[in-house]
Amino acid sequence: MDVSLRSAAPEDVPHVAAIFGRAFDDYRLGLNVTAEQLADFWSLSLAARVEQTTVAVLPDGRIAGFAVTVAPGAAEKYGGPSAVRKRLSLMLRTVGWDWFWRAPALFIPMGLAYSRRHARQNELYVSLIGVDPECQRRGIGRALLQAVEQEARSHNAAAILLHTASTNMRARAAYRRAGYELISTVRSPWSGPANITAYVALRKPLAQAPTPRLNAIDAT
């Protein structure tokens, strides 16, 4: 598919949020919400990260996918305490009392996976990457990963790191084809409503390992 890549702008946020709502099945199942509700939950967070977002744009101007990255040594943005409180309040009003078990069941295993293997100072981190389900299997995800790699190389990153659910086999296959290697698996304390048994960390090395130096042979 013919697609162009560019940095996201504030006016792109509703479209990126809509793709997030449609593409992230595990979040919808985990929270038991619709795609529209999930998009509403993440709008403030995505708005805070717009400067860290790349979008894939179709010839007709529609956004077909996005990637949110964190440069080596940088901190991820979430919009500050006020935005976090607004999002939690919206989730509580929408999900109701189920929020008190659904949110921890979904997010605690993710946090455990990240704490087990988080991005190092010389690694670029892929926080989110998604393609509109209507546009999947057309090379857009591959184009976004190539853009991520270009960004990582512009920062002289040694590698790219990302996490995904162990059950997301299609994404894992795409990452494997793009050169990502499995480096860590963290079993979930529970499978949760999304039935995710583990999360994996995948890494793509960019810097070549130094050539081993052989000890000189003493010819005397």
Tell me whether strands 63-70 and 181-187 are parallel, antiparallel or unpaired.
Answer: unpaired
* Res. 143: pLDDT tops 60: yes
Residue 56 identity = A
Q: Where are the domains of the chain?
A: 4-205
Looking at residue 34, the DSSP 8-state letter turns out to be -
Whole-model pTM over 0.85: yes
At residue 32, φ and ψ (nearest 5 deg) are 60, 55
pLDDT greater than 90 at residue 87: no
In 90-165, the DSSP E strands lie at: 123-131, 159-165
Q: What is the pLDDT of residues 15-34, one digit of tens each?
A: 999 999 999 999 999 999 99
Angle among Cα 207, 69, 171 to the nearest 5 degrees reads: 85
- Given a contact cutoff of 8 angstroms between Cβ atoms, the answer to whether 107 and 42 are in contact is no
Triad 195, 196, 202: Cα angle to 5° = 160
Distance between start and end Cα atoms, the chain: 65
Question: φ and ψ at 212, to 5 degrees?
Answer: -60, 140
Could you tell me whether strands 53-57 and 63-70 are parallel, antiparallel, or unpaired per DSSP bridges?
antiparallel
CA distance 130 to 141: 7
What is the predicted pLDDT for the residue at 218?
38
Percent of the chain with pLDDT over 70: 94
Q: Average pLDDT over the chain, rounded to whole?
A: 92
Q: What is the pLDDT of residues 155-185, one digit of tens each?
A: 999 999 999 999 999 999 999 999 999 999 9
pLDDT in tens, 89-120: 888 888 888 888 998 999 999 999 999 999 99
**192 φψ region: left (φ > 0), alpha (ψ -120 to 50), beta (else):** left
DSSP state of 209: P
User: Residues 139, 141, 147, 150: is their CA dihedral positive or negative?
Assistant: negative
- What topology does CATH give the domain 4-205? Aminopeptidase (3.40.630)
What's the CA gap between 66 and 17, in Å, rounded? 10
* Selection from 2, 124, 132, 130 nearest residue 66 by Cα: 130
